[in-house]
């Protein structure tokens, strides 16, 4: 006998509303990012600035990442079916992983180029850097405001917010480097600014990649102690054993748990398994830092044989 929590319909409705909001936010930011990207490439070529070119590289990566994020958000709106019982919710996790991977690669490429320029700097024109730094900072600030309310919706939105935040930091770096070059003539400031941008980008990208990887590898939710879950379930009246206890995350905000529950013959004879199911579902939904609303329990009598033995 098994049991499962209800309430999927309100959750599905809430997810659809969230996905629509995400698509709108991502579309606005993608338009802003693509516009600034074109302007930055032109300005980087005119000024010879590595920091500006690095920022343009981030913008290019972000534009691609935002396209991925937008596509993932649209896929996530697709309803569940017989062949895809959770819908396409995990598309947003895959999109976040791709964005984080691209950010990491761009960061490493820029770091290598910046280290080269520290030793042998190229001449840089500061005026185009200042102009584009201001334009980029304003555009990124608007993008951050648009995405700020949605970064908690999914890893996909968190990745998009991180990319735009990194671009904002890149614009600040470009401005600072341009001012230093204009005032002191120290050309290496451009490379130093690029390295600082990389230092800010890569650790956050790796952290995001780790979060997406934990979902794709179906690891247990980070804040869920399965030994504590087992202890709580074992404490319920009539439960003598818990085995095949599994927990994973289908998509951010959608943790799932399954378990086989062995009960006493007396509990089975009393026919009170419905109450036990309610108690177990309430337990995993309310007693832990991770609230699990999708839980499935298979109740087995003490004399039940394992499937291998039955076969």
Could you say which of 191, 216, 241 is where a domain stops?
Answer: 216
Q: Which residue has the higher pLDDT, 261 or 161?
A: 261
Domain hosting residue 144, numbered range? 10-216
Residues 278 and 255 in one domain: yes
Same domain, 139 and 37: yes
Mean pLDDT of the region 203-216: 86
Q: What is the DSSP string of 207-249?
A: HHHHHHHHHHTTPPPTT--HHHHHHHHHTSTTEEEEEEEEEEE
Domain end position, chosen among 164, 181, 216: 216
User: Would residue 3 count as lying in a domain?
Assistant: no
Average pLDDT over residues 119-134: 78
Between the CA of residue 262 and those of 4, 230, 236, 283, what are the distances in Å?
A: 17, 12, 11, 17
- Clarify whether residues 209 and 274 are in a common domain: no
What local confidence, expressed as pLDDT, does residue 308 receive?
Answer: 53
Q: Would you state the pLDDT for residue 153?
A: 59
Claim to verify: residue 201 and residue 53 sit in the same structural domain: yes
Distance CA 294, CA 189 (A): 53
CATH of residue 129: 1.20.1510.10
Q: What is the pLDDT of residues 180-197, one digit of tens each?
A: 888 888 888 888 888 888
pLDDT for residue 82: 85
Task: Choose one of 182, 216, 250: the last residue of a domain.
Answer: 216
Q: What is the pLDDT of residue 88?
A: 84
Q: Indicate whether 311 pLDDT > 60.
A: no
The domain tally of the chain equals 2
Task: Work out the widest C-alpha separation in the chain, in whole angstroms.
Answer: 87
Q: At what angle do helices 189-216 and 91-119 cross, to 10 degrees?
A: 160
> Any idea which residue has 């319909």 for tokens?
9
Query: Containing H/E element for 250?
Result: strand 239-251
Residues 154 and 256 in one domain: no
Rounded mean pLDDT, 286-310: 80
Quote the pLDDT of residue 6.
42
Q: Which one, of 202, 147, 199, lies nearest residue 173 by Cα?
A: 199
Residue 188 placed within a domain: yes
What are 77-119's pLDDT values in tens digits?
788 888 888 888 888 888 888 878 888 887 888 888 888 888 8
Average pLDDT, the chain: 81
311 located within any domain: no
Considering the domain architecture, whether residues 189 and 285 belong to the same structural domain is answered as no
Are 189 and 164 members of one domain? yes
- In three-state secondary structure terms, 220 is coil
Q: Are residues 36 and 133 in the same domain?
A: yes
Instruction: Tell me if 281 is assigned to some domain.
Output: yes
Residue 5 in domain: no
User: What 8-state DSSP symbol labels residue 122?
Assistant: P
- Based on the fold, state whether residues 48 and 164 are members of the same structural domain: yes
Does one domain contain both 207 and 251?
no
Highest mean pLDDT among 62-76, 128-142, 214-228: 214-228
Tokens of 3: 């049991």
pLDDT of res. 190: 81
pLDDT of 3 strictly over 70: no
Q: For position 4, what pLDDT does the model report?
A: 45
Pick from 16-20, 30-34, 46-50, 255-259: least confident: 16-20
- Does residue 4 lie within any of the structural domains? no
Task: Return d(Cα 60, Cα 76) in angstroms, integer.
Answer: 24
Residue with tokens 């999927």: 8
CATH of residue 238's domain is: 3.30.70.1350
In this prediction, residues 151-167 reach a mean pLDDT of: 74
Q: Convert the pLDDT of each residue in 170-179 to its tens digit.
A: 778 878 888 8
What tokens does 138 get? 């304003």
Q: Is position 51 within any domain?
A: yes
Give me the helix-helix angle, 91-119 and 155-184, nearest 10°.
20
Is the residue at 173 inside a domain?
Answer: yes
Beta bridge partners of 246: 258
Task: Tell me whether residue 266 is exposed, middle or buried, using C-beta atoms within 10 angstroms of its C-beta: 0 to 12, 13 to 18, 19 or more.
Answer: exposed
pLDDT, residue 18, reads 58
* Helix 50-76, helix 189-216: angle, nearest 10: 20
**Looking at residue 67, what is its pLDDT?**
86
Within this chain, do residues 175 and 82 fall inside the same structural domain, yes or no? yes
pLDDT tens, position by position, 217-255: 999 998 899 999 999 999 998 899 999 999 999 887 889
Whether residues 256 and 200 share a domain: the answer is: no
Region 117-137: what's the mean pLDDT? 79
């Amino acid at each position: 006998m098994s049991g499962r929590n209800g309430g999927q319909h309100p959750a599905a409705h809430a997810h659809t509303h969230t996905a629509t909001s995400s698509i709108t936010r991502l579309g606005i930011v993608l338009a802003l990012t693509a516009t600034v990207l074109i302007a930055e490439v032109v300005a980087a070529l005119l000024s010879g600035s590595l920091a500006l070119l690095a920022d343009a590289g981030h913008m290019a990566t972000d534009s691609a990442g935002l396209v991925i994020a937008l596509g993932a958000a649209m896929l996530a709106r697709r309803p569940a079916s017989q062949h895809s019982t959770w819908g396409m919710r995990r598309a947003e996790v895959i999109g976040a992983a791709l964005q984080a991977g691209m950010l990491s690669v761009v960061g490493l490429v820029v770091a290598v180029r910046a280290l080269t320029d520290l030793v042998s700097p190229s001449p840089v024109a500061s005026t185009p850097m200042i102009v584009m730094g201001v334009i980029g900072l304003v555009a990124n600030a608007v993008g951050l405001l648009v995405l700020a309310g949605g970064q908690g919706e999914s890893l996909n939105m968190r990745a998009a917010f991180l990319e735009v935040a990194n671009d904002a930091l890149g614009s600040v770096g470009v401005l600072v480097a341009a001012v230093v070059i204009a005032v002191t003539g120290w050309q290496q400031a451009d490379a130093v600014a690029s390295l600082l941008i990389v230092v800010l980008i890569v650790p956050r990208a790796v952290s995001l990649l780790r979060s997406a990887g934990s979902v794709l590898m179906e690891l247990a939710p980070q804040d869920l102690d399965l030994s504590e879950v087992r202890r709580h379930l074992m404490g319920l009246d009539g439960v003598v054993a818990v085995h095949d206890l599994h927990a994973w995350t289908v998509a951010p905000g959608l943790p799932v748990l399954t378990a086989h529950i062995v009960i006493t013959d007396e509990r089975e004879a009393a026919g009170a398994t419905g109450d036990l199911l309610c108690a177990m579902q309430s337990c995993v939904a309310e007693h832990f830092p991770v609230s699990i609303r999708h839980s499935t329990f298979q109740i087995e009598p003490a004399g039940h044989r394992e499937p291998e033995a039955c076969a």
